[in-house]
Each structure stands twice: as C-alpha cells, then as structure tokens.
Amino acid sequence: MLLLWMPSNKMCHHVTMTTDYRAGANSDDIRSQQEQAMESSPLVLPPKGPGPRQRFRLLRELVPMLLIVLVVFAGVRMFFQPYEVDGASMSPTIANGERLFVNRSAYAHVDLPAFGDIYPFSEPRRGDIIVLESNRTSRNAPYIKRIIGLPGETITYTEGIVIVDGEPLVEDYINGAVTRCDVPTYCSVTIPQGHVYVLGDNRRDSEDSRFFGPVPMENIVGKAFFSNWPYEDIGPIQHPDYGEIRAGS
C-alpha cells in the first residue's frame, strides 16, 4: 500500500529502510523484553505424581471403605433379594416383567419345644405375596403366589368363590367370582401344620395349590414387600383387608 503512494524509488527506498530499521528496533525491544520476563519469572515445573508414601496412605484409606461396601452389600443380599416376575399368574396385582424386593428374613423363626415356633418378625399372614421354591411347579424356577389359607384352616370352593372355614373370602384384587378348582383332591382340603395354601391372583392362568396342594413353609423364600420397577408402580406392596376372617381360625 505504501509503494502506491510514493513519488520516487528513492523515497520508496527511504521508506523501506526506515520501516526495516524500526522493525529491527522493535524486534530488539521485544527480544529484550522477553529475556527480562524470562529472567524475572520463576521456573514452573510440572506437578509430580504422588510418592510411594502418599500412594500407600491412599490405599490404606480406600481398603476399609471397600470392605464396608462389601459387608453392606453382602448383608443386604442376605436379607433382601431382587426378583423379576416372569409370567402373568399374579396379574393384575403384579405384572409380567415387574421387579420386586423380597424380604428373605420376613418369616425367620426359632422352634422351641416348650413354646413352639417363635417368629421374631412376622408369621405368614393371609394375603401375603410370597416367593416359593420350584419343587411343586412344572417350571424349574421360583414362583410367586398369594397366601390364601393358613395351618389348620379348611379351604373349599363355591360358585367361583374361595371359602375359608365356611366363610366366603372377599378378594377385591381379583376380577369377580372366577376361582375354579378342577382337582378334587385339592378343592376341599384342611391345611396341615407348617403349610400354607397359595393361589395366584390371575385365577384363570395360575398353577397353584389347586393343582399341587398346600406347600411347606420351609419352601418359602421370602415375602415380596416392595416394587421397584416399572416407575409408575414403585412403592410398597399393599396388603389386603379380609374383614372378619381371622388368621388361623
């Protein structure tokens, strides 16, 4: 741009020389400033990694935390077991694919000869939803049912309704009087001690005590008490109110 406005080569040369000189001066000034800055600035070194002593201290702090986590995890798994429901035998109360927490210690008990069975937490109750071992069903997997009858009670059926010790069982969680029993051996049965009578809420599609009779309590894995999936069903599992029927009457 400057060369377009200068009248002679001499002037151009002069301008060029002047520009070069100033550039050289500026370069020297800049170099001098950089050297001064380097001399006045402290030398910054990259941070060193933790030494052996620091690593040992960190490891010593982490190990107890990991042990605590493992102990808590093992304790939780000892008492609470997650399950995913496969099938519709408990529909509409519990859907296929629903995930539950099962309390394995809910019915833990001690057998004392002088006092009988002592349940520190809870005895099996009518209406409890439980997970049982699979030695009574056609599928080689734990199964989930509802306790309907307790030891000493007599279970019969009349016009699609479950009768407990001569009284009709009011079940608001099923779709009307739909409970049929086609195996005479288990359609009128008195439940032995140490056993419970179980049914699925989906009475038209459930393999339960109507087909294999009362089940021993030692086959109970635990009580389902909390639904953790799907999102809209998260929460405690509700226990039905059967009115005047007394447990174990």
DSSP state of 11: H
pLDDT the model gives residue 65: 85
Give the number of other Cβ atoms within 10 Å of residue 72's Cβ. 10
- Residue 129: helix, strand or coil by DSSP? strand
pLDDT of res. 120: 87
Domains of the chain: which residue ranges? 10-38, 85-236
Q: Quote the pLDDT of residue 18.
A: 42
* Residues annotated as part of the active site: 89, 145
| pLDDT computed for residue 46 by the predictor | 57
Decide if domain 85-236 falls under CATH 3.90.550.10. Answer: no
Q: Using CA atoms in the order 154, 158, 162, 168, what is the torsion angle rounded to 10 degrees? A: -90
**What is the pLDDT, as a whole number, of residue 11?**
38
pLDDT at res. 158? 95
Q: Which of 154, 144, 135 is nearest to 90 (CA)?
A: 144
Q: Please report the pLDDT score of residue 152 as a whole number.
A: 96
C-alpha 221/C-alpha 231 separation (Å) is 25
Q: What per-residue confidence (pLDDT) applies to 203? A: 96
In order along its 249 residues, the chain shows pLDDT tens digits of 332 333 344 333 333 344 444 444 444 554 555 555 555 555 555 565 566 777 778 878 888 888 888 877 676 677 889 999 999 999 999 999 999 999 999 999 788 887 777 888 899 999 999 999 977 777 778 999 999 999 999 999 999 999 999 999 999 999 899 999 999 999 999 999 999 999 999 999 999 999 999 999 999 999 999 999 999 999 999 999 887 665 444
Q: What is the pTM of this model?
A: 0.71
H/E run at residue 221? strand 220-229
Give the model's pLDDT for residue 20.
45
Token duo for residue 88: 């519709």
